[in-house]
Structure 1
Amino acid sequence: MSTDAAAAVEELEIPASMDAPGAAAFAEMVDVRNAIESHVMGTDVLNYTARELLPSYQVQHHEPIRLFVARIAGRIVGRGILSWSAAEDATASWVEVEVLPEFRSRGVGTALYDHLAAIALPSGRPTLQADAIHTRPETGERIEPPTGFGWLSADDPGVRFLRRRGYQLEQVARISGLRLPVDPELLASKRDAAHAAAGPDYRVVSWVGTTPPEWVGDLATLKTRMSTDAPSAGLDMSEEKWDAARVADWDRQLADSGRERLTVAAEHVPTGRLAGFNELYLPADRARPVTQEDTLVLAEHRGRRLGTLLKVANLQRLAEVSPSSPMVTTFNAEENRHMLDVNEAVGFTPIGYEGAWKLTP
């Protein structure tokens, strides 16, 4: 354990389940996470339960992760996350620091960050990268990434924190929300138009929950390509190698989280292989927002409006499976104009922004 004048930083053990010893501290950490992000966003639409988040911390062999908390008088007031890719060629460590608003400017964020950096820098992955959700006040200098798309305000506290430590903004992601329900006629019209553009060589397949055996290999290919084909600006990114075992781990995480996953994919009929996919994650409480995670069309199948076809088809499936869901949220790089166009066409609007930052040694 390390301390400064006000805060004690300690590593938080990841419990085996929410009924295991240590689960109360993990749940307290999740409450702190939710309070911080709700404050920054001005809404709780990105909140998760402890059960939903726990599985993502438990599977360590693909993307190792360590979790730290800062306490004042025994209370968790901030958290720090250190993660990295298990790939042999990985050169970057990812750091995340969050502090409750009422405990900022007391050295808590600095104590957490210094603790993470001291572990990361000698690890052989000396490039430090960070994702952070930001407010975007109209005051202050506009900080733009080298991509030329999107901006953040120099007056945002998170921007100030990272720039003081030498980080450069590499990418801005837009956080979007879609109020539900969407007009069924609008979705039907867009699906018909996208299907006509795709032509008879493509058909939509879908499933709920774990991956059907016949699609495991193709899903592994799509998830691997997601790590290399999605826009990553100047960030140091390693290829995520997916195989059947990793898909099985991913499916187990889904079951343990209590969430349900809706997957829609485009099958290339001449080859019988999947050309793209879209995922929606539904919480057990259907009054809470749905999260749209990965969407990818393989480069060799682009230009046929498959992205629109997949997103619209999954929104139609969502309306059938969970008509009470109030919203879908999603993240997209600001330079990914094609995907933003697809989102905007069905009604997604900006609700927040995330910066991806890099500190090169």
Structure 2
Amino acid sequence: MPRRFTIEPLVIPEAPGASGWSDFDAANAVRNVCEAASYGTQDLVRRADEMLPMWQNTEFEPRHGLIARLDGDVVARAVIDTLADPASKHAWLEVLVRPEARGLGIGAALSDAIEQLALDAGRSTFIVYAASPDAPGPRLDAPTGFGSVPLENPEVRFLLSRGYRLEQLNRGSRLSLPADPEAVRRLEADAEAHAVGYSAVTWIGSTPEQYRSDMANLHTRMSTDAPTAGLEEPEDVWTVERVDAEDASRSSADLVPVTAAAVHGATGALVAFSTTFVPAEQNRAITQDDTLVLREHRGHRLGTLVKLANLRAVENDFPGHPSIITFNAEENRPMLDVNEAMGFVPIGYEGAWRRDA
């Protein structure tokens, strides 16, 4: 007799331990199990209480979820993220099923449900980022010309069967800490020699008052200046108020932001930045968030400048963490060159897929 499963909305609790917490915690565990299985490391694990603020504070980044139960247990989840702009047609979707619950139709049912939620919200361009562990056999090449995924992987077959097309490959990389001091010194000397007219500034925690407007601009440009291949991801406008809201969310999530930025001497404006998030537990990996150099300021080693300044701050103020994890588009060779020179090594890859409904 086929095992029965049910799908229902993910209820967001008001606080850890409040009503709905057990389901939220179980849904987060689904994420952790699937990430660890895909990348072969626990470095991507996140606590549920760390993730909760990002689900509660959704004024600027709307998010909704579904869960699937099998025999009463939460074994899968689906997430839809959209822009706050109601005119935007894009939706970012994720469906994850615990390995022991696969092959029962749960992933297909959750995909149907989350895609319908997107359509009901007026979103018709679906983007999915799906990890693709390496495997032998034929490959599906990304149209960018950089990277491929195993054609026979279950997630690849599944997405192709639903009409998605592969647009881009992202590389997950890991830097063991502490970083090689000789490599860091060599890179710092090279960056300083090329970054004439620029300087680095670093802060820990919330964005200083004098940088909030510039950081809003940098975050907005992150959505237009970073390579997105055929995904054609839209501009995501940030304001000072959104910078403040993001700072507040991270603070309540018990993740400490460490930010390094490049100051253009002629104008005093921030023109590049790199942010990491440091968890409270010293034995856990640090997460690299966004790194960007504005297009008009590239060619001066500013990416190296801000990443190294960030690394120095992390190692000085938060010693003992085992690693930093980052993800980059495989065609973003300039950033990968910086990462590789710092000592980052690949841990896995994810495909970026698109479907136009």
TM-score of the pair, normalised by structure 1: 0.96
Partners of 2:286 and 2:324 within 8 A in 1 = yes
* Consecutive unaligned residues in structure 1, runs of 5 or more: none
| Structure 2 residue 179 is matched with structure 1 residue 208 | no
Q: What SS is found at the alignment partner of 1:54?
A: helix
Q: What aligned pairs does 1:311-330 form with structure 2 within 5 A after superposition?
A: 311-330=307-326
Q: Could you tell me which amino acid in structure 1 is paired with residue 134 of structure 2?
A: R
Partners of 1:172 and 1:354 within 8 A in 2 = yes
Shift of the alpha carbon at 1:247?
0.5
Match of 1:113 in 2: 111
Shift of the alpha carbon at 1:184?
2.0
Q: What aligned pairs does 1:253-292 form with structure 2 within 5 A after superposition?
A: 253-292=249-288
Match of 2:189 in 1: 192
Match of 1:147 in 2: 144
Shift of the alpha carbon at 1:350?
0.6
CA offsets per residue over residues 197-227 of structure 1, 9 Å max, x none? 111x111111000000010000001000001
Q: Could you tell me which amino acid in structure 1 is paired with residue 268 of structure 2?
A: G
Percent identity of equivalent pairs: 44
The 2-side partners of 1:190 and 1:31 are apart by 39
Match of 2:159 in 1: 162
The 1-side partners of 2:348 and 2:284 are apart by 18
Partners of 1:121 and 1:127 within 8 A in 2 = no
Partners of 1:15 and 1:23 within 8 A in 2 = yes
Shift of the alpha carbon at 1:183?
2.0
Q: Could you tell me which amino acid in structure 2 is paired with residue 247 of structure 1?
A: V
| Structure 2 residue 22 is matched with structure 1 residue 24 | yes
The 2-side partners of 1:360 and 1:38 are apart by 30
Shift of the alpha carbon at 1:87?
2.2
Match of 2:234 in 1: 238
Q: Could you tell me which amino acid in structure 1 is paired with residue 275 of structure 2?
A: E
Shift of the alpha carbon at 1:312?
1.2
Partners of 1:203 and 1:268 within 8 A in 2 = yes
Match of 1:94 in 2: 92
Partners of 2:89 and 2:124 within 8 A in 1 = yes
CA offsets per residue over residues 115-150 of structure 1, 9 Å max, x none? 1122222432112221111212122x2111211111
The 2-side partners of 1:74 and 1:236 are apart by 40
Cα RMSD after superposing both structures: 1.3
Q: Could you tell me which amino acid in structure 2 is paired with residue 112 of structure 1?
A: L
| Structure 2 residue 163 is matched with structure 1 residue 177 | no
The 1-side partners of 2:7 and 2:256 are apart by 35
Match of 1:43 in 2: 41
Partners of 1:92 and 1:236 within 8 A in 2 = no
Shift of the alpha carbon at 1:88?
4.2
Partners of 2:200 and 2:262 within 8 A in 1 = yes
TM-score of the pair, normalised by structure 2: 0.97
The 2-side partners of 1:269 and 1:354 are apart by 38
| Structure 2 residue 334 is matched with structure 1 residue 338 | yes
Partners of 2:3 and 2:70 within 8 A in 1 = no
- In structure 2, which of residues 272, 289, 295 is the aligned counterpart of residue 293 of structure 1? 289
Q: What SS is found at the alignment partner of 2:284?
A: coil
Q: Could you tell me which amino acid in structure 2 is paired with residue 192 of structure 1?
A: A
Q: What SS is found at the alignment partner of 1:234?
A: helix
Shift of the alpha carbon at 1:5?
6.0
Q: Could you tell me which amino acid in structure 2 is paired with residue 286 of structure 1?
A: Q
The 1-side partners of 2:253 and 2:270 are apart by 26
**How has the CA–CA distance of structure 1 residues 88 and 31 changed in structure 2, closer, same or farther, with 3 Å as cutoff?**
closer
* Consecutive unaligned residues in structure 2, runs of 5 or more: none
Q: What SS is found at the alignment partner of 1:148?
A: coil
Q: Could you tell me which amino acid in structure 1 is paired with residue 50 of structure 2?
A: E
Q: How many residues align?
A: 356
CA offsets per residue over residues 1-32 of structure 1, 9 Å max, x none? xxx96210000111122132111211111112
Shift of the alpha carbon at 1:155?
1.7
